[in-house]
Amino acid sequence: MHSLIARNGRSLHKLGQNLVRHLAAANRAHAFSRVAAASEGHGGNGGSVAAAALTRREASTVAAAVGGATSPSAASLAAKPAHLRQLSEEQLKAAAAPLGTIRVVAGPGSGKTRVLTARIAQLIHTHGAHPWQILAITFTNKAADEMKERLAIMLGEEVAKKLFAGTFHGLCYRILKSHIRDLEHAGRDSSFTVYDQDMTLRLLANEVKRQNPDWKAKDVNQEASRLQGAISSAKNSMLTWHAPTPLGVERCVLEHLQRQAAAEDNPLKAVEAGVLAEWFGMYEAALRANNAVDFDDLLGLSVALLASNEAVRQRYHRRFRHVLVDEFQDTNATQYELVKLLAMPRADLFVVGDPDQSIYGWRGADMTNMTEAFVKDFPEAQVCDLQDNYRSSARIVATAQSVIAPNDEWQRKGMNPMHPAGDLIQVIELDDSQQEARYVAAEIAATLQRGEHPEEQVAVLFRTHAQSRLVEQELFRRGVRYVLVGGLPFWRRAEVQDVMAYLRLAVGLRDNIALSRIINTPRRGIGDSSLIKLQAAAAERGLTLCSLLFGDGFSGEGGQGSDEGSDGREGAEGGGGRGMQLPPLPDRKELGLPAKAATALEAFRQLMAELHVAVRTQPLHKALKHIVDRTGYEKYLLDGGLTTSASKQGDEAERVDRIWQLLGAAADYSPGAMSGAVSLDEDYPEGGGSGSTDNVGGSPDSDSDREARLALRVTLIGTDDGDVEFSIGGSSEYSDFSDGDFGGTKDAETERAGGEGGAAGAGGTGAEAEEGGGGRGADTLPSMPPLQRAQNFLDEVALYSGADEGGAATPGVRLMTMHAAKGLEFELVYIPGCNDGLMPLLRGEPGAVDLVKHVAEERRLFYVSLTRAKQRLRILHTAVTSLYGAHSGRESDPCRFLVEVVEGGHAAVLQRMQGSPEARDRSSSGRYPASSSSSSKSGSRSGSSGGGSWQRSAAGSGSSSSSGSTKNAGRRRPAPSGSSSGNSSSGSAAGSDASSSRGPSTQLSSAEMRHRRGGRR
DNA sequence: CTTTGAACGGTTTTT
DNA sequence: CCGTTCAAAG
């Protein structure tokens, strides 16, 4: 189902991409003028909207077109810097605050990203900061990208790409890549790779199955994910990093869990703690054996490193004098600790967030980091409140406030709406989600037809991904384009992951998890039973499966130690794997393998050996091509290897196509593009091949680069921060990625450090100087060897997780989860499925305390959702929630938070009941106690014939008892009738809905959807 | 070992 | 309802 959804989303996305591509050239002048508008700004935040609408591509186009003109000089030396001119008073107070620790509490729609960006510009222009000294941390890659886009517009491309803007994970990845050797007992070398969730789950499942060979797959998986959750939260609470040895960790975790159990006075948990700690130890050991870290390790090991290693910490202190964190309310314990370690002594620290938008508690985020801990740890911090709301109508603002009000975990200040009241909020009840979807789709279709909003300004927000399907179908039937934002990303597709697993294995021949994934993936006769036997055999010998099959790497370690280019050259075109010696396998009888499996296994070993050579010697995309070719993967796909069910038939070509895309991405890949410095769109490597120096592109000073820095230099003169000096001379300041990103600051660094950090402060590039302490890094080679490129590719893909779907320029109505909607805004927002149990999503029987906290977070989530809307907001709930089939549903109450919405008096309640009289009664009298006020307030143009026409639609569809609804309407509030006017629009929508709903098939099968989509293409 | 058909089970949010 | 998993046959 996911695949179906995502597939559809993707193809539309592709369509959009093409469109953008074609339009890009034609739009140049147009885009340019938009930028002008953006930098002029229209009072409040009109400019920010325009800027946000710029795509990365456009931005770079513009930068290219404008050339040196975008360099800061012109703008920055003006009396009032342009980047501050558009800010409101309160925004200015934050953005232009003096250096120091600053905590900005910013409500939704307050322009917080804008302020953050302005702050950065301010640091550079007024405080004389060098971009290199600025560290901007976000929670998503998308946010980082957007920030860089804006900065590129404000400061010029060259400057913008020099500051570090990325996620916590991306930052930590780079820190560890450079310094993991400086962490004792880390248990990994610097060629470690990152395991994403799929990988760790797989790892755990393997372990569980090994422990309990007779378990069913389902139970194994369930146990594995349970363990994963437990382990992750243990790591998140940061109690393991002091003893990163497997055994030490185990003991540490055990103690922690026991303490926890004792605190809760729960003896049962104490027992469990022992078991869990044991698993934890195995998990850690397995990670180490594969030279891998998980997401939590990235953070935790970085914290351990910085906490334990004075020299390294000092180095980053010198490097990052200005630290900015967005969405600070979403930090977890480890991330908070990291911020402290980076900033604590005396860095300039600027954090922005809104405790009420803390919606990631389930993954360890703790808003008290912002509301309490930060206040305590940084008592001198200046506090700025951004209370003006530039986004939403006053009604929406007021309603949102009344929704969030019951949460009293911190002292919030109010919001000041900056827009007039606007339309009433509509609260709509329908019979079931089928109807709900139809209604939403019909209204959207009509709205678009009337041209009331551009399609990308209309959004549908769901609590869960699964909910989107019905709406998709209905939109689809009406030919409304939509984009499913955040659908399953490209990189997690089975076929992509398969190929990546091959790459992963081929890189070092030591990744057992990747091995177990693909050892039989184009079926080659090595099935489960053989695999189990092999694993047992390996375990008997105290080996991992990889080392049994491939040896311990043939020149020392599998990783970077052996990646000198020269080594590879010999075997270069050989292909046949003669470059490496495979260890002899034990006799097949000893292994208990059937003859067939044994020969297959031998062939597989040869194959992997060959691929290993290919990965070391060929450019990445060629190596991947090699993998695809030699494994017969394409044929496997075409033969339906991944076609698990009939409904997935027809996907084969698409899967193959995705493999091609993967190859394309690999060809275009330049290290750092995804997770950090440079966006993939910008520098298009001509050759794309191995020798391409695109990744080092910054090093030979381009003219504009030099110009930009000269301009900076100018602005530096006469600032109060006189001790900052930059030599402008020629060494590679931006040697991109690996170590260069951090090492390259030698100018400022060595000056202040006085040789403390880099033992050999003198020589060569900054990167070398820095790495001198930590041991020779293969990563400073001017052109990255293929093997390392491949490794970086793997890691970045893991960290990237694909937020580029549905980019700003893709046309179509936006469909997404509430979580994914954070930070976005739309003119018109629909929120279907607001039923209690679904909206406050409730499951199981959680403890009372937990439940309260959980509901509080759900409330925040709802609050976030409401505040996405600028003008019009439609909240829907259904009389019954139909889980699967159309009519297997159960009665369901509306979302409990709706009470506040309706009581707030800004909503028009449209209702159609068709159930039993009892149900009607319950709903009408019980649900919204004080709601009748709503209609009376329906001021101005409000209207919306929604109620009336909608009743018509009910009659039209022939399914409802008209008496029921009329009676209901009449007796209850005048809401439906009272609110009647402007939007006869919705009448037409509903009408078309009714007619179309009578079509031959109300439900489109997935195949049908696909077919239609194909037709439209 | 792979393929087939039938039964079962399931639904948060993501770096 | 759909997709995954299980068990038996080829």
The predicted structure's pLDDT at residue A801: 65
Q: Which residues contact A868 (CB under 8 A, 6 or more apart)?
A: A459, A461, A821, A824, A825, A826, A829
CA A600 to chain centre: 40
What Cα–Cα distance (Å) separates residue A489 from each residue in A2, A505, A801?
10, 22, 7
Query: Is A53 a known ligand-binding residue?
Result: no
- Which tokens in the block code for residue A686? 């001509």
CA of A466 to C1' of B11 (A): 7
Residues A761, A769 contacting (CB under 8 angstroms):
yes
Check whether residue A1000 has its CB closer than 7 Å to nucleic acid strand C.
no
Check whether residue A1001 has its CB closer than 7 Å to nucleic acid strand C.
no
Residues A291, A191 contacting (CB under 8 angstroms):
yes
Amino acid (one-letter) located at A43: G
Closest residue by Cα to the C1' atom of nucleotide C6?
A216
Query: Is A373 a known ligand-binding residue?
Result: no
Determine the Cα angle at A187 with ends A185 and A192, to 5°.
140
Query: Is A108 a known ligand-binding residue?
Result: yes
Query: Is A235 a known ligand-binding residue?
Result: no
Residues A991, A956 contacting (CB under 8 angstroms):
yes
Closest residue by Cα to the C1' atom of nucleotide B9?
A218
CA of A522 to C1' of B7 (A): 28
- pLDDT less than 50: residues of chain A: 1-78, 554-578, 675-782, 913-926, 929-1017
C-alpha to C-alpha distance for A149 and A580, rounded to whole angstroms = 46
- Which tokens in the block code for residue A474? 């209905």
Residues A927, A897 contacting (CB under 8 angstroms):
no
- Which tokens in the block code for residue A934? 């709503």
- Looking at chain A, how many residues does it have? 1017
Query: Is A106 a known ligand-binding residue?
Result: yes
Residues close to nucleic acid strand B (C-beta < 7 A): A 139-141, 167-170, 196-197, 295, 359-360, 362-363, 463-466, 486, 520, 523-530, 594, 596-597, 799, 801, 803, 817, 819-820, 841, 843, 883-884
Class of residue A218 by CB neighbours under 10 A (exposed 0-12, middle 13-18, buried 19+): exposed
Residues A119, A135 contacting (CB under 8 angstroms):
no
CA of A503 to C1' of C10 (A): 35
What Cα–Cα distance (Å) separates residue A126 from each residue in A97, A352, A719?
11, 20, 7
Strand B nucleotides within 7 Å of a protein CB = 1-3, 10-15
Question: Which of A556-589 are b and which e, b meaning 16 or more Cβ less than 10 Å from the residue's Cβ?
Answer: eebbbebbebebbeebeeebebebbebeebeeee
Residue A880, number of CB atoms within 10 A of its CB: 18
Q: DSSP letter for A583, please.
A: P
Rounded to the nearest 10 degrees, what angle do helices A28-40 and A46-53 cross at?
Answer: 150
Of A507, A515, A513, A618, residue with least CA distance to A562: A507
Q: Which residues contact A600 (CB under 8 A, 6 or more apart)?
A: A524, A525, A526
- Which tokens in the block code for residue A669? 């890949």
Check whether residue A1015 has its CB closer than 7 Å to nucleic acid strand C.
no
- Which tokens in the block code for residue A38? 């953006």
C-alpha to C-alpha distance for A182 and A760, rounded to whole angstroms = 17
β A458-462/A164-167 pair status? unpaired
What Cα–Cα distance (Å) separates residue A21 from each residue in A8, A61, A63, A694?
20, 12, 17, 22
Residue ranges with strand state E in A582-703: none
The predicted structure's pLDDT at residue A64: 32
Residues A157, A698 contacting (CB under 8 angstroms):
no
Instruction: Give tens-digit pLDDT for A161-213.
Output: 788 999 999 999 999 999 999 988 888 988 899 998 889 999 998 888 888 88
ipTM value for the complex: 0.90
> Maximum CA pair distance of chain A?
89
Closest residue by Cα to the C1' atom of nucleotide B11?
A466
Check whether residue A221 has its CB closer than 7 Å to nucleic acid strand C.
yes
Mind giving me the DSSP string for A157-176? HHHHTTSEEEEHHHHHHHHH
- Which tokens in the block code for residue A464? 């869960």
The predicted structure's pLDDT at residue A847: 66
Query: Is A577 a known ligand-binding residue?
Result: no
Of A758, A762, A784, residue with least CA distance to A771: A758
Check whether residue A1 has its CB closer than 7 Å to nucleic acid strand C.
yes
Question: Which residue matches tokens 């789950």?
Answer: A201
| H or E segment to which residue A253 belongs | helix A246-263
DSSP, collapsed to helix, strand or coil, labels residue A184 as coil
The predicted structure's pLDDT at residue A122: 92
| Residues β-bridged to residue A826 | A869
CA A768 to chain centre: 33
Check whether residue A1003 has its CB closer than 7 Å to nucleic acid strand C.
yes
Query: Is A806 a known ligand-binding residue?
Result: no
Class of residue A413 by CB neighbours under 10 A (exposed 0-12, middle 13-18, buried 19+): exposed
Backbone region of residue A479 per phi and psi (left: phi > 0; alpha: psi in -120 to 50; beta: other values): left
CA of A886 to C1' of C1 (A): 9
Check whether residue A647 has its CB closer than 7 Å to nucleic acid strand C.
yes
CA of A647 to C1' of C2 (A): 9
Residues A986, A947 contacting (CB under 8 angstroms):
no
Strand nucleotide closest to residue A818 (CA to C1'):
B13
The predicted structure's pLDDT at residue A80: 63
Question: Which of A951-967 are b and which e, b meaning 16 or more Cβ less than 10 Å from the residue's Cβ?
Answer: bbbbebbeebeeebbee
CA of A174 to C1' of C6 (A): 45
Q: DSSP letter for A923, please.
A: I
Question: Which residue matches tokens 């975990």?
Answer: A409
DSSP, collapsed to helix, strand or coil, labels residue A652 as helix
CA of A220 to C1' of C7 (A): 18
C-alpha to C-alpha distance for A884 and A433, rounded to whole angstroms = 10
Of A170, A167, A188, residue with least CA distance to A179: A188
Question: Which residue matches tokens 């689809």?
Answer: A476
DSSP, collapsed to helix, strand or coil, labels residue A740 as helix
DSSP, collapsed to helix, strand or coil, labels residue A292 as strand
Going A301 to A302 to A307 to A312, the CA torsion angle's sign is: positive
CA of A615 to C1' of C10 (A): 40
Residues A837, A516 contacting (CB under 8 angstroms):
no
